[in-house]
Each structure stands twice: as structure tokens, then as C-alpha cells.
Amino acid sequence: MARPGRPRMPKAPLPASVEAFLDMLIAERGAALNTRHAYERDLADVCAFLKKRSRDIDTATTDELKAYLEELAGRENAKSKGGGKTAVRTIARRISALRQFYGYLVSEGKRSDDPTSTIESPKQTRTLPKILSEDEVTLLITTAQKQGGPESVRLVALLEILYATGLRVSELVGLPLTSIGPESRYLTVEGKGGRERMAPLSEPAQKAMKAYLDVRGKFLLTDRADTQGKWLFPSRTSESGHLTRQRFAQLLKELSRLAGIDPERVSPHVLRHAFATHLLKHGADLRSVQKMLGHADIATTQIYTQVVGDQVKETAEKHPLAKDGTGTV
């Protein structure tokens, strides 16, 4: 982050091949804008390393990429005082970005070889998701209700919708007003890769939504109606016109302090985890939870069965809807 009073340093231009790859992610694969930004940051870091050695990413060799990964490991280890899981995840993600980039170059005939083909990703141990108990989620909601005013009504709606649907935070804050179904019974959500799904709303979420819609106008500015008006959760200050992920996370931290819950344990993603684990705990099946979360692969959803215990895991995995056509999960 730039220091106060200093202008931001301009970004170094990326090679045309990288820009073309990033454009392809959105145009052909339907990747989200946040995904594009993540790949851009990863590949920009590789480009900066190679540029210092008078090399470029288009023609980089396997040895040069291994040298970059060694340097990256050193940086990550120093940053996290020994590295650990964070360093491993960063390196694995960077290798994945490089593999996809060079796979694209090969498919486009811009390279005949893939320099990442002999580079192995570090082994990762899956971290169990952090969750809140049902009582803690209830405490957050009741604490928000006690604050009063439009801000409180909006926060309650955000919490109830997130806990009822398990939406990703980017999906939640970026909901258009048109996503609301009849009588606020469900939301139509566009997830990763442009995949659309319906998210049913619980009765408390429906009530919170209706209460919020009565005060939604308080968050609109008449001179920005063109950029704000289409969003379910408009913002007077954000460039996008809607509430940002960062602001919602900040509101959650402030709320957790008021509720007497450690702010380090609370985030929008933790509430998404709570939604999934609490559903499984009460007998929901993996396939249904997968669809509600918008996971492309059920293996991603299965991590939650490790949180809720062996008995619930067995129930979730034996449910007929949790099996594919071959009878396996």
C-alpha cells in the first residue's frame, strides 16, 4: 500500500502474451474478474523476477522458473517466519498459474514445449475450515439487531442472507436488485464461471430482506443512481456502486467485538463455512450442500464432513443424493 501523501507507483506493463492469456480466462473460460486479478498478480511477480535477469516469461526455461520458485520460497518463509502452510499454498498457486499460462502458449502455437512439465507442486495438507457455533451466529445476529438504524437493518440482512445461503462474499455484495425472487423466497446468483444457481432464503432471511428493502433508499445518492440503483446493497462511496467485500468484513469485525467474540475468528468466509457445517450437522446431504455452495467439484464440499464428526460424515456420504451415477461420492 502506498504511504499517505505519495502517489501510487504505476504498474509495470505485462507482456502481450500474458494480457492475451488473462483476457482468454474471462472470454473463453468465464473466469470471474477477481480470478483474473489473482492470475495477473501471480504472473506479474514472475515477470518482475525474470526482468531483473534480462529474461522474459515467454521464453523462460525450466531452470529459470525453478530459480524463481526458490526465490519465492525464501521470501514467503521470511515473511511468515518459517513458511509453513501459507508458503506452500502460495508456491502451489503460483505453479498452477504458470502451468495454465504455458499450456495456453502451447495451445496457441507460441511455444512448442511446456517448461513447467517437470516442476512438481509442493504437497499440501488441507486445512479444516474455521467455523462458528450456531449459538455464536445467533449472537452476532441479535447483537446487530440491537444497534438500531438503517445500518443495523442492512447488517442483519447481510448476516441472515449469508447464513441462509452460504454465498461467497463477492456474490453477496455484488447481488443485483433483480436477483430477488417473488416474495423474497430465493435469490438468483451468478457464481464462478458464470454458473447460475438459485439460493433459497430461510424465513428469518426473508423477513430481514423485506425490512432492509424498506430502508435501502438510505444508502442511495440521487446523483449516482445510475451506478448504485441496480445493486441490492448500494454504497454511497465505493467506485463499483455497491458495498465492498472489505467494508462488509470490517463491519463483521466491529460487530464481533460488540458481541464478545474474537474478531480473528469472524469473517464472511467463516459464515459460509458455518452455513455448510451446520447444514451437514442437521442431516443435509453432500450433493445438496455442494449445489448450494456453488462448488464445481464435490471433493471441495467433502472437507466440511471432517469438521462435523464421523457420525455426521457417514450419514452425509450414505445419502442417495450424495452419490453419483456410479454409486460413489
Query: Which residues fall within 8 angstroms of residue 203, CB to CB, at 6 or more apart?
Result: none
Residue 301's pLDDT is 61
> Mapped to the 3 state alphabet, what secondary structure does 1-28 carry?
CCCCCCCCCCCCCCCHHHHHHHHHHHHC
Set 66, 89, 192, 207: catalytic member = 192
Residue 22's pLDDT is 93
Do 87 and 80 form a contact (C-beta atoms < 8 A)?
A: yes
Query: Which residues fall within 8 angstroms of residue 33, CB to CB, at 6 or more apart?
Result: 26
Residue 316's pLDDT is 41
Angle 62-79/84-107 helices, nearest 10 degrees? 150
Known catalytic residue: 192? yes
Residue 277's pLDDT is 82
Set 168, 216, 278, 287: catalytic member = 168
Known catalytic residue: 304? yes
Known catalytic residue: 168? yes
Residue 1's pLDDT is 41
Set 66, 207, 224, 269: catalytic member = 269
Residue 89's pLDDT is 82
Q: How far apart are the first and last CA of the chain?
A: 45
Blockwise average pLDDT, block size 10, the chain, 329 residues: 44 88 85 86 95 95 94 83 67 92 93 92 64 90 93 96 88 92 87 78 93 92 67 88 91 95 89 84 74 69 58 43 37
d(CA 269, CA 92): 21
Set 130, 247, 295, 319: catalytic member = 295
Known catalytic residue: 272? yes
Set 94, 242, 272, 278: catalytic member = 272
